[in-house]
Amino acid sequence: MTKIEELDLQAQRIVRQAGKNAYEKMDNGYQVDTKTNYTDLVTTIDRENEQFINQQLRKIDPNSRILSEEGFGDKRILDLTGHIWIVDPIDGTMNFVKQHNNFAVMLALYIDGIPTLGYIVDVVNNHLYHGRHGEGVFKDDQQLTPPANLGLRESLLAMNRTLTLGDNPLLKRVAKEAMGLRMYGSAGIEMIGVLTGQLGGYISNLKPWDLAAGRMLAEELGLVVKSIDGSSINVLSSNLVLVATSQVSRDIRQIIN
Amino acid sequence: MTKIEELDLQAQRIVRQAGKNAYEKMDNGYQVDTKTNYTDLVTTIDRENEQFINQQLRKIDPNSRILSEEGFGDKRILDLTGHIWIVDPIDGTMNFVKQHNNFAVMLALYIDGIPTLGYIVDVVNNHLYHGRHGEGVFKDDQQLTPPANLGLRESLLAMNRTLTLGDNPLLKRVAKEAMGLRMYGSAGIEMIGVLTGQLGGYISNLKPWDLAAGRMLAEELGLVVKSIDGSSINVLSSNLVLVATSQVSRDIRQIIN
C-alpha cells in the first residue's frame, strides 16, 4: 500500500467518526454561539469535531499543515507546498442546528497544490463521498459515473442567498434561465448534488474549507470548477465559484461575459 | 369506526401505494413531456398515479368530487359543498425527474369547505405525514408536536424562485431578514419542513393541489396559513400563500404592511 492509499483509508475512518460524533449529539448536548452576526453560527460540536479531526491528522501525517474553519489549525498558511489538510468540521451549521439534516463533514488533502484526497460525509443519510486523484470518486463502495453533460436549461442550479438576492442582473439571468433553482444551505450537500447529477451547477462564495473537498471530487469526475469569471481558483482564499458540467459552465459564461 | 376514520385509513393506504408506484418507476420506465414551457414538466407517472388515486377514491367515496392536477378529476368545481378530494399525484415533478428525490404525493379531503383529512408522502424517505381534523398530525405512527413559535430572524424560510428573483422589494427584505433562505422545489417537501420545525415559514404561489394537504396539516398544528396579504385562502384558486409559525407570520406582516 502506498503512503497515499494509507492516508486515504485513515482519513475515511476519521471523517466517518467525525460524522458519527455530530449525528449523536445533534438532538441536544451542545451550545450555539454566533460569530459575525445572527446568521453566522458555531456550536461546541463544530469545535470538538475540529479538534478531534486535527488531532487525528497530526497523528497520521505529522509533517503536514492544517487549514481549518474554527481556528484550531495552523495559522497563516500562505503557500501550498507539501501536505495541506483542509478541514470543515460541520458544513451547514445552521442546518445542523435548525434542521438536524442537510449538513456535512468535509476534508481534503492538497499536496504541493494538487487536490489529492477529498471527503464529504452526508451525515444524516450516512454516506461518504470520497476520491483519490486519478482513482475516481465513490459513494461509500460504489464508484460514481460522471454526470451527463447537460446544459443550463436542462439542469437544476443551486445558488446561495447572497448572490440570489444580490444586485448582479447577470447572475439573476443565470438563475432564471436554469430549469430550476435550489438552495440547501450547505456547500457539502450542494457539491454532492453536482457530483451525482442532481444539480447541473452550483454557484457560491466559498471559503477554503467549503471548497477544497468538493473541488477535488468534482475535478476527478471531469466537472468544471472555476471562478465565476473563468479564472482559476486559489484554494487558500475566498472565491466566487462555479462547480458545474462543462455545458452548464459554457451556458453561464455566455450569459455573464 | 366512523365513516371519516374509515376514509382516513383507506386514504393512507392509497397514498402509500401511489408513493410506492412512483418510487419503483423513478429510475426509468417513464416519459417526460413539457406543459406550458421547459420548466413545467409532466411524466407518464404523474398521469398513471393520478388515475390510480382517482379510481381508488371513486371506490371508497363514490359521491365525492375530485380536483386533481393532471385533468382526470371532475371539471369546473366552483363550490366547496360536500366531499372534495384534492390530489397531487407527484408534487415536485422536476425533482422526480432530475433528482430522484425531494418529491411528494399529496391528498386532502375537504368537507363543506373544512380541511378534514390531509396526507403528504415523502416518497424517497418513505414517510407519511397525515392528520385528521381535531385529531393531530402524525409522521407515520408518531404524533408531531407543534413547532416552537420562533420569529423570522431565528428561522429558516423557504421561498420559490419566482418570488425570490422577482421585483417585490418587500419580499426581498423578508428573504434577507430570515436567518437563512432555502429552496427545495416541492411544496410538499417544503410543507413538511414547516410542519416539523425545520423551516419557520414557506412562501409560494400555490395551486389547489399544492396547498390543500399542507394547509390541513399546518392548521391542525396551530400554524398560520394565509394569503401573504393576510386575507384568507380560497383553496379552489391559486394563492400567494404563507405557511408559518405565528411569530414568523407577524414578523413578515410587519415588513410587508
Paired with B204 in beta bridges are B241
- Which domain CATH number covers B95? 3.30.540.10
pLDDT of A28 higher than 90: no
Same domain, A96 and A174: no
The chain B residue lying nearest A96, using CA atoms, is B198
User: Which residue is associated with the grid cell 441536544?
Assistant: A28
Residue-wise pLDDT for B34-60, tens only, equals 989 999 999 999 999 999 999 999 999
Last residue of a domain, one of A117, A143, A169: A143
Residue-wise pLDDT for B4-16, tens only, equals 999 999 999 999 9
Range of the domain at B94: 3-143
Same domain, A170 and A122: no
Residue-wise pLDDT for B99-157, tens only, equals 999 999 999 999 999 999 999 999 999 999 999 999 999 999 999 999 999 999 999 99
Output the average pLDDT for chain A: 96
% pLDDT > 70, chain B: 100
Same domain, A220 and A127: no
User: Which residue is associated with the grid cell 486535527?
Assistant: A54
The chain B residue lying nearest A200, using CA atoms, is B98
Residue-wise pLDDT for A219-228, tens only, equals 999 999 999 8
In 3-state terms, what secondary structure has residue A86?
strand
Report the alpha-carbon distance of residue A218 to residue A106 in Å, rounded: 14
Output the average pLDDT for chain B: 96
pLDDT, position B76: 87
pLDDT of B249 higher than 80: yes
Same domain, B139 and B156: no
Domain count for chain A? 2
Residue-wise pLDDT for A43-63, tens only, equals 999 999 999 999 999 999 999
Same domain, B225 and B115: no
CA B104 from centroid of its chain's CA atoms: 8
pLDDT, position B227: 92
pLDDT, position B24: 94
Report the alpha-carbon distance of residue A105 to residue A46 in Å, rounded: 10
Q: Is the Cα dihedral A166, A40, A93, B188 positive or negative?
A: negative
pLDDT, position B140: 98
Paired with A183 in beta bridges are B183
Same domain, B200 and B174: yes
CB contact under 8 A, B198 and A156: no
pLDDT of B29 higher than 80: no
Could you tell me the CA-to-CA distances from B192 to B70, B144, B245 in Å, in that order?
Answer: 23, 11, 13
Q: Distance (Å) from the C-alpha of residue B126 to the closest C-alpha of chain A?
A: 13
Last residue of a domain, one of B98, B115, B143: B143
Nearest-CB residue to B182 (from A155, A156, A184): A184
| Helix ranges, chain A (H) | 3-25, 44-60, 93-98, 161-165, 169-177, 187-195, 208-220, 246-256
pLDDT, position B203: 98
CB contact under 8 A, A100 and B198: yes
Q: ∠ at Cα B241 (B239, B242), nearest 5°?
A: 170
- Which domain CATH number covers A156? 3.40.190.80
Same domain, B73 and B170: no
Same domain, A133 and A222: no
Residue-wise pLDDT for A119-132, tens only, equals 999 999 999 999 99
What average pLDDT score do residues A26-43 get? 89
Report the C-alpha dihedral over residues A124, A186, B254, B209, rounded to 10 degrees.
-60
Report the alpha-carbon distance of residue A38 to residue B21 in Å, rounded: 44
Q: ∠ at Cα B210 (B214, B254), nearest 5°?
A: 65
How would residue B242 be classed by pLDDT, with cut points 50, 70 and 90?
very high
B155: phi then psi, degrees, rounded to nearest 5:
-130, 150
pLDDT, position A224: 97
% pLDDT > 90, chain A: 89
pLDDT of B191 higher than 80: yes
pLDDT, position A112: 97
CB contact under 8 A, B156 and A185: yes
Same domain, B158 and B228: yes
CB contact under 8 A, B155 and A98: yes
Same domain, A53 and A95: yes
pLDDT, position B136: 98
Q: Distance (Å) from the C-alpha of residue A153 to the closest C-alpha of chain B?
A: 8
Same domain, B11 and B137: yes
Q: Is the Cα dihedral A222, A227, A233, A238 positive or negative?
A: negative
For testing the chain B interface, which of A27, A41, A102, A161 should be mutated: the one with the most B CBs within 10 Å? A161
pLDDT, position B232: 85
Residue-wise pLDDT for B212-237, tens only, equals 999 999 999 999 999 988 788 898 99
Last residue of a domain, one of B100, B116, B143: B143
Report the alpha-carbon distance of residue A236 to residue A67 in Å, rounded: 9
Instruction: Write the burial class of residue A134 (CB in 10 Å: 0-12 exposed, 13-18 middle, 19+ buried).
Output: exposed
Same domain, B10 and B112: yes
**A90 is annotated as contributing to ligand binding:** yes
**Number of CB pairs < 8 Å for A and B?**
75
In 3-state terms, what secondary structure has residue A98?
helix
Could you tell me the CA-to-CA distances from A172 to A152, A251, B232 in Å, in that order?
Answer: 13, 14, 32
With contact defined as beta carbons under 8 Å apart, do A21 and A13 qualify?
Answer: no
The chain A residue lying nearest B95, using CA atoms, is A198
Q: Distance (Å) from the C-alpha of residue A165 to the closest C-alpha of chain B?
A: 7
pLDDT, position A248: 98
**Contacts made by residues B192-195, CB under 8 angstroms, sequence distance 24+:** B192/B104, B192/B120, B192/B122, B192/B129, B193/A99, B193/B156, B193/B158, B194/B147, B194/B158, B194/B218, B194/B223, B194/B243, B194/B244, B195/B129, B195/B137, B195/B144, B195/B147, B195/B221, B195/B223
